[in-house]
Homo-oligomer: A and B are copies of this chain.
Amino acid sequence: MSEQVHEPRMQSMCEGPQGDPEVFRSILARVGDKWSMMLIGMLQEGPRRFTELKAMTQGISSRMLTQTLRQLERDGLVKREMFAEIPPRVEYSVTDLGRSLIPAVLAIAEWASAHTNEIAANREDYDAAVE
């Protein structure tokens, strides 16, 4: 069972043809986009319906919600289940793959949370210096 050795130096992002670098990049982009990780976070505690998610995700539009969920579904991070009822019911939930991403994103979130003020201050200084 030779453990596969990942060597994810940052440069793998532009260099290494280990897996498809385009796919690799698009994953990073997904993590960074405005809604994806928020939605994953919301689904963490159980399945949710479209309208629930829309209400929880303050500020998102239907279009963006649909779009983001579709992408997450395409990547296999989220599962979509439709029930043939009236009115229609659709439930979204995180997959195991999606769940496995959470700790890593949480690490970023933690860093961001810990340094938000510092960065805000840096920006003020910079903007003041440049005028």
Contacts and interface: CB of A to CB of B under 8 A. Distances in A.
B32 A119 contact: no
B114 A6 contact: yes
Number of this chain's copies in the complex: 2
Interface stretch (A17-25, A61-69, A83-91): A17-25
A110 B8 contact: yes
Interface in A29-79: 29-34, 37-38, 40-42, 44, 56-59, 73-76
Contact of A58 (B14, B41, B111, B118): B14
Nearest to A19: B116
8 contacts: A10-B41, A10-B106, A13-B41, A19-B117, A19-B120, A31-B108, A75-B119, A100-B115
